[in-house]
Structures are given as C-alpha cells and as structure tokens.
Amino acid sequence: MDSIVVTGNGPLSGQIPIAGAKNACLTLMPATLLTDQPLTLTNAPRLSDIRTMTLLLQSLGAEVQALNDGQVLAMSSHAVTSTRADYDIVRKMRASILVLGPLLARFGHAEVSLPGGCAIGARPVDLHLRALEAMGADLDLREGYVHAKAPSGGLKGGIVEFPFASVGATENALMAATLAKGTTVIRNAAREPEIVDLAECLRKMGAQIEGEGTSTIEIQGVESLGGATHRVVTDRIELGTYMLAPAICGGEVECLGGKIALVESFCEKLDEAGISVEETATGLKVARRNGRVKAVNVTTEPFPGFPTDLQAQMMALLCTAEGESVLEEKIFENRFMHAPELLRMGAKIDVHGGTARVSGVEKLKGAPVMATDLRASVSLILAGLAAEGETVVSRVYHLDRGYEHVVRKLRGVGAKIERVKAE
C-alpha cells in the first residue's frame, strides 16, 4: 500500500485551490436517475468515491462521461436497464443508498444492497426507509437488499418527520419527493450546504422546492424533470482542512473558492484559538496571529454547528495548543481512532467514550502512523507538517476517497511531503 511521508518544514505560504464538494457531488450524481434528459455537473472533485458512484450508475444503464480531466461529469439516464444496485459496488460506499429514492420515484421499484463505508460507527439506513414509507412505498429487507415498490400510480406526497436531522435521509427523501404525487413536507430536515446545493440543482431540472437550508422543506411533486447544468458547491470539509495547515505550521495561505458562510462555526473556533480568517475576492486567507495556538473546546453538531468531519483535523491543531482542550463527538461513535496515532507522535490525549481531552505539547515528533479512516488520514498529515522530523502515514487509500491531489496542493504552499508508491 502507498504511504505519505511528511517532514516538518516551517511556515507555509501561497494559495490552495479547493475542489467541489465530495458529499454534494455524490448526491447530485444519482439525481440523473430522475430524468431521461442530460444532467451535467461542473467543478466535480476527482476522487475514488466519485469513480465508485460512476460505476454504480453505469451498472444501472446510465451514461456517465468524465470530461475536462474529470472536473465535468456529463450524465444521461435515458436508457436505464436495471433498478438493482448490487452489493459488489454498494458495499464500497455508504452514499450508494442515494440511488434508492430516485429509482423508486421514477421507475416504481428498486432493489438496493445495504451499503458499506468508513468504520466510524453504526449509521443505519432506517431513516431513509422511513421517509420512503411516508410516501407510500412498500419495503422489504431480505438477503442484504432493500426491495422497494411504489404504489400503483407512483409515490404519493406525505409528511416525513425525522427524529433527528440526517443528511443522507433528507437527500433521498428530497429526490424521491420531486416526482411524488402531491405535496411532501420534510420536518427536522438537515440544513447542510450540500442539501441546498441539491435543491438548487433539482430546481434547475424543474422541481418545485421551498425551504432548503431550514429544518422544514416542502416539495410539490411534478410529472417529470428535465436536464440541467449545475456547478458543484465548494467542499467545506476540504476547505476547513487546508485552513488548518497554516494554523498548525504558521505562515499565510489563501484557500481559493472558500467562503465563511460554508464554515462559520469552524471559523469561530479558529478565531478563539488565535487564528485569523479573512474573506477575499477569491477565497479565504488564513494566518496564525501570535505565538502558540490557544486551547479551545469543541462539540460536533449538525450544520450549522461544528462539523464532525473536521473534528480529527482540529484535534491535530490542538495537540500543540497552549492549555487543555476538550473535544466532544456527538455525531458518530468510534471517531477518535486517530488519537492513538497522534499519541505515537508525542501528543497528550485522554479519550473516554465520546470525549477527548487534549493537553497541548510544545512540539510533536515525527513517527510511523496508520490512517484508520478518511478524516483521520488527513489529520495525521497535518500533524506531520508541524512535527519535528519525518512522519510516515500508511494506509492512505482512505485519503483518495475525499481529497484530490493532497501532495500537490500542500507542496504548492511549501510543505515537504511526498507519496511513496508501494513496492
């Protein structure tokens, strides 16, 4: 397996281009199944998860072409040949479940394998199924597959009430509701920018949607949807990750395409820690103000709260902060698996259940470490940038699922980093 070698090399300077959002693109791609007209996505990230979704859509008979070095996805579902999403592809990625709503809404039936993904705790699909049942779907779980049927005449508008905000379930419900007969109301809907981006794309396709970005979304079903061209929103998690690079190493970096509105709660914590964030005409300029970073307490919450997908990276920063920080993980269990690896680099971290106490040290030391999931892998790279000596991060295949050209982007601002191919 490949590894990434990082050597602490002092302050960073320059610009880092931020890609389109992985989580938005993985939701927008299944929207092609809702129409027989072309759907084109621009600003697409070039990631292994996008390739996996491409394979899944192609297995159903959809056409997907990657143009402009993968940054444009030209899709058409005019000749879908199957409504069965097989385990062999679905197991690789949880976002695969997002084909269920569109297939059911347009074709009236679907068989979708229960998904796989990162090992960061139980993330059941029951809320997805509950939403579709509220629209009249008949669901049967057997042999590892969801067998779904719409009533004769198609899905019907209904009240979808989630016990807690779920991004994926909101997305599946939103897509399915666009073709349901009548009005669907989603209550306790997720409010993430990726939901807003999906609604904007669906509206371009002819959907009637109101309230995205709030906890109540109302959808008036239409007979059919058309084609559209849509630019994928900036990836707020990649944005936050690269904003932490100058925070950890010193220097000043501009993250191109960034906007404070995408990462407001994160920016508030950076400000508290002594990091300056300035919105420019082209992005966000980030620099450490004076001396060591200050300890801060962080609790992960659904948007607009602090993102769980930036918790691991924030922990890397707080390992060298002045004082004790407390990080509370409220979204996923098992999401402190990076902590033992940071301990190998000299960090002081005490984990109890969903809480981690981090006592800042003056300097981390380079060490061989192992990535356990996507966000953990990049947190170890960030830690390596600020450590004395060499850090070797193994099992970096996780990284390819969510970050394009990490080595190139960090080298571009002066980091000493290289990817070593497995022999």
SS3 115: coil
CB atoms within 10 A of CB 421: 7
To which H or E segment does residue 369 belong? Answer: strand 368-370
CB atoms within 10 A of CB 277: 19
Query: Which pair of tokens denotes residue 130?
Result: 């509950």
Query: Which pair of tokens denotes residue 33?
Result: 């199944």
Q: How far apart are CA 329 and CA 311, in angstroms?
A: 8
Q: Check whether 23 is labelled as a binding-site residue.
A: yes
Q: Check whether 68 is labelled as a binding-site residue.
A: no
The answer to whether the CB of 300 falls within 8 A of the CB of 290 is no
- Compute CA 180 distance to the chain's CA centroid, rounded to the nearest angstrom: 27
Q: Which residue has the tokens 């801060």?
A: 296
Q: How far apart are CA 410 and CA 143, in angstroms?
A: 45
The active-site residue out of 25, 118, 249, 255 is: 118
Instruction: Give the closest residue to 149 by CA, choosing from 132, 173, 171, 161.
Output: 132
Q: What is residue 290's DSSP assignment?
A: S
The answer to whether the CB of 16 falls within 8 A of the CB of 242 is yes
118 is annotated as an active-site residue: yes
SS3 343: helix
Q: What is residue 69's DSSP assignment?
A: T
Instruction: Give the closest residue to 137 by CA, choosing from 170, 108, 99.
Output: 108
Q: How far apart are CA 247 and CA 226, in angstroms?
A: 45
Q: How far apart are CA 50 and CA 32, in angstroms?
A: 14
Q: Check whether 94 is labelled as a binding-site residue.
A: yes
Query: Which pair of tokens denotes residue 412?
Result: 């571009």
Instruction: Give the closest residue to 341 by CA, choosing from 307, 377, 305.
Output: 377
Distances in whole angstroms, Cα of residue 332 to Cα of each of 155, 191, 309, 364 = 32, 18, 10, 27
Q: Check whether 400 is labelled as a binding-site residue.
A: no
Q: Check whether 351 is labelled as a binding-site residue.
A: no
Q: How far apart are CA 301 and CA 308, in angstroms?
A: 7
Q: Check whether 125 is labelled as a binding-site residue.
A: yes
Q: Check whether 309 is labelled as a binding-site residue.
A: yes
Q: Check whether 286 is labelled as a binding-site residue.
A: no
Instruction: Give the closest residue to 103 by CA, choosing from 69, 72, 137.
Output: 137
Which are the catalytic amino acids?
Answer: 118
Binding residues for UDP-N-acetyl-alpha-D-glucosamine: 94, 123-127, 309, 331
Binding residues: 22-23, 94, 123-127, 309, 331
Binding residues for phosphoenolpyruvate: 22-23
